[in-house]
Amino acid sequence: MPPIERAAALGRVADVLERDTEEIARAEALDTGKRYAEALLDVDDVLSVFRYYAGRGEEVERPREVDPGVEGVHSVVHREPIGVCSLVTPWNYPLLQASWKVAPCLLAGNTFVLKPSEITPHSTMLMVRAVQEAGVPAGVANLVLGTGPGCAGPLSTDPRVDLVSFTGSLAVGKHLMREAAGTVKRVALELGGKNPNIVFADADREAAIDNAMTAVFLHSGQVCSAGARLLVEESVKDEVVDAVVERARGIRMGPPFDEDAQTGSLTSAQHLAKVEDYVATGLAEGATLRCGGGRPDDPALADGYYYLPTVLDDCRLDMHVVQEESFGPVLTVETFRTEEEAVALANGTVYGLAGAVWTSDRDKARRVARALRLGTVWVNDYHPYVAPAEWGGHKQSGIGRELGELGLEEYQETKHVWENTTPAPTGWFG
């Protein structure tokens, strides 16, 4: 298919997904445990990803002429599809993470084999159905279902695969990178984050406190960019943390279709156990439990994998619960006195995905944003992203970018064609 037709097909995928929004959101909510209302928002986000790439058909393969500096030579850099792409996705935002890969992959003219998480495959099946309904030729879009080692393993070693694009945990990302090295595949990795949310004393206090809540407790903290580390200037620490604790105690949890619920459960029993372990380790290492720290008492929630919004105060950079992703509704609090100290703490983990700075001083905000080794920095905000802006991690949060221009280039090879219009002997060897 020429690029313009591929782009049109992406537009049709968006139309089909929009038509089936309720069915898809329902599947996503039931698989993940998130609120149905949030799953509806996820579908909206997915539509905007498909429509963003659908609008780029004309530029996707536009060749770039370069000046070779030599008479009689026509020199052009082409952009071509890479080939067969393995796309491996996690369980926290199953549909959204798949869309960040599927849309640019198809626009660039590749074929793919997509493997969703075995915990949450349902919405991805509906997305692939939409791709087929949109008229993408048979064999282009392929779906395999199964566990990681059983399914994604072969997808990263098979010599017929040209690119592995993976979103998931750091440990599995490292493993797939080693596997892909055997046949020198292109590797794109979107891994975890341990994201700092820095609140200076001069910040709009109410906005900072309110956003500190959504930063970490949205989707029960199962967000790669969750602001799970609150770094707060010492002079306002008590005021900020007391307010967060009070509000965290009031969060209402419930199943996906409970309209009074503000957040859902964790996605699996295994993940619940992991979050419990991290909190226990944090307490053993000296953190102070301010709220949460266990499962709710409410008998109506006894059957779900619910975990109370938790705030751990008096945390230090060397604690496991600060360094590693608990990926649950667990906020750790550290304090700082100076801008330099805030930056040093924020940069003090192996991760570098995202984070925020709260201050009313624009110069300070910009200085700190420049100094943070993060793929995304929000100033006086938390969480928003847009399809035209690249997303990805510094340091061990990943390799490569999704979304935006670079998110498309991940799925393209370049080829330089040097065409000599006046061939002649060089005479080099006489």
Known catalytic residue at 85: no
Single out the residue of 21, 48, 142, 169 in contact with ligand NAD (rule: CB under 6 A). Answer: 169
Q: How far is the CB of 304 from ligand NAD (least distance, A)?
A: 18
Q: Give the residue closest to ligand NAD by C-beta.
A: 148
The residues with which 142 forms a beta bridge, in sequence order, are 113
Closest CA to 50 of 125, 131, 113: 131
Window contacting ligand NAD (CB under 6 A); options: 91-99, 200-208, 286-294, 410-418: 91-99
Q: At 124, list the tokens.
A: 């991805």
Smaller CB distance to ligand NAD: residue 109 or 352?
352
Q: Can residue 149 be called a binding residue for ligand NAD (CB under 6 A)?
A: yes
- What is the size of the binding site for ligand NAD (CB under 6 A)? 31
Site for ligand NAD in 222-251 (CB under 6 A): 224
Q: Can residue 118 be called a binding residue for ligand NAD (CB under 6 A)?
A: yes
Q: Measuring CA to CA, how many Å separate 306 from each of 14, 88, 183, 212, 275?
A: 33, 27, 42, 21, 11
Q: At 270, list the tokens.
A: 């295994």
The catalytic residue among 28, 61, 179, 190 is 190
The catalytic residue among 105, 224, 291, 315 is 224
Q: Are 81 and 109 in contact (CB under 8 A)?
A: yes
Q: What is the sign of the dihedral through the CA atoms of 353, 359, 364 and 366?
A: positive
Q: How far is the CB of 118 from ligand NAD (least distance, A)?
A: 5
Question: What is the rounded CA–CA span in Å between residue 311 and residue 228?
Answer: 10
Site for ligand NAD in 316-345 (CB under 6 A): 325, 327
Known catalytic residue at 410: no
Q: Can residue 32 be called a binding residue for ligand NAD (CB under 6 A)?
A: no
Single out the residue of 32, 92, 263, 335 in contact with ligand NAD (rule: CB under 6 A). Answer: 92
| Active site residue ranges | 190, 224
Q: Which residues bind ligand NAD (CB under 6 A)?
A: 88-93, 97, 115, 117-118, 147-149, 152-153, 167-169, 172, 175-176, 190-193, 224, 325, 327, 353, 393, 398
